[in-house]
Amino acid sequence: MSITLPDELKFIQNGLSPQKESKTSLHNKVCVITGTTSGIGYVTSHRLALYGAHLVMIVRNREKGEKVRNEIIEKYHTKCDLLIADFSRFEDVHSVAKEINSTYKKIDILILNAGTFLQRKTFTNIGIEASFHINHLSPFLLISLLREKLIASSPSRVLTINSEGHRFSTLHIDDLGWKKHLYTGLKGYGAAKTAQLLTMQKFAIGFEGTGVTINSMHPGEVKSNIGNENSLLYRLYSKYLLSLFLKNPEISAKAIHYLVADEEVSGVSGKFFNLTIEEKPAKHATDPILMEKVWNKSIELTHL
């Protein structure tokens, strides 16, 4: 007897279901991707290079980034460029966007993968809660700064790496500093991913008729280095206990390749996927009133 789960729990079933895979060539496609020195971003960069993409990798650590770039060039003989930006600093995002806009004639694919998970409430140098800044505001800013280039390059695709974690925390737009609400790592992360989902849908509306699509996806329960900024105890817990239940990030890489390249997803925009299965986000992540508030607050905080 089959069991039909409510929408709120279908993500469990979807994560265990067979996923789609694409063999679509990326030859001559310029693919900008953030966070490629480890985990999902590292494996995805290799997957995209295997299919011929011209990679433009944005990383925080130059030494690690150069190592990955050299690996990719040597193994796949494809173009691979390296740009440096720390997503906790808006000035870095502006700098890297300016470099992309002036250097590349087109952007076929933009993948926002870089992120962080923080156990404790932390603030960036301009006083914004760090998970919200890094996971939401900087990707929001980068998409905004590359918007005209993406439109000029159409058909082009944007993919933000989100999380089922958005289901476990709403967003308190009037308390982004968590002064009135108890902060936990999961709540902070969920709030940032909720904001990212809400603005993704707003971007999709703005991109209508331009040939640019934008979607979000949960990359599956896979091994990654997210959370490595946390305490030694958390890192040991993640490495020796959590990792026993996680899957190979190649699953995520295949799903990302499908979403950014396959003809079956051409023209699809404003959607949330669990790997390659389209899914309904949590209700608070589709609230039109909250969407407008988050959009306006994101513009205000990024000084757009």
Where in the chain are the domains? 27-302
Tokens representing residue 293 in the block: 């508030």
**pLDDT, position 248:** 75
Banded pLDDT at 128 (limits 50, 70, 90): very high
**pLDDT, position 154:** 97
Look at 89-98, 231-240, 250-259 and tell me which has the smallest mean pLDDT: 231-240
Q: In the predicted model, is pLDDT for residue 238 greater than 60? A: no
Contact 39, 249 (CB under 8 A): yes
Tokens representing residue 100 in the block: 């992309």
Burial class for 11, CB neighbours closer than 10 Å (0-12, 13-18, 19+) = buried
With a pLDDT cut of 70, the percent of the chain lying above it is: 86
**pLDDT, position 229:** 47
Q: In the predicted model, is pLDDT for residue 73 greater than 80? A: yes
Average pLDDT for the chain:
89
C-alpha dihedral sign at 266, 268, 270, 271: negative
Nearest CA-CA partner of 136 in 108, 169, 105, 107 = 169
What's the average model confidence in pLDDT over 79-95?
Answer: 98
At 286-295, the pLDDT tens digits run: 999 999 999 9
**pLDDT, position 244:** 38
Banded pLDDT at 130 (limits 50, 70, 90): very high
**pLDDT, position 249:** 79
At 243-255, the pLDDT tens digits run: 433 467 788 999 9
β-partners of residue 196 are none
> Which residues lie below 8 Å from residue 261, measured CB to CB, with a gap of 6+?
22, 24, 26, 29, 51, 109, 157
At 198-235, the pLDDT tens digits run: 999 999 999 999 999 999 999 876 544 544 444 443 34
The C-alpha angle with vertex 209 and arms to 203 and 211, in degrees rounded to 5, equals 80
At 160-187, the pLDDT tens digits run: 999 988 988 889 999 999 999 999 998 9
Output the DSSP codes for the chain: ------GGGHHHHHHHS---------TT-EEEEE--SSHHHHHHHHHHHHTT-EEEEEES-HHHHHHHHHHHHHHH---EEEEE--TT-HHHHHHHHHHHHHH-S--SEEEE------SS--B-TTS-BHHHIIIIIHHHHHHHHTHHHHHHT-SEEEEEE--GGGGG----TT-TT-SSS---HHHHHHHHHHHHHHHHHHHHHHHTTTTEEEEEEE--SB---TTTTS-HHHHHHHHHTGGGGPBPTHHHHHHHHHHHH-GGGTT--S-EEETTEEEPPPGGGS-HHHHHHHHHHHHHHHT-
Domain at 27-302, CATH homologous superfamily: NAD(P)-binding Rossmann-like Domain (3.40.50.720)
Banded pLDDT at 240 (limits 50, 70, 90): very low
**pLDDT, position 12:** 65
**pLDDT, position 235:** 40
The model's pTM = 0.89
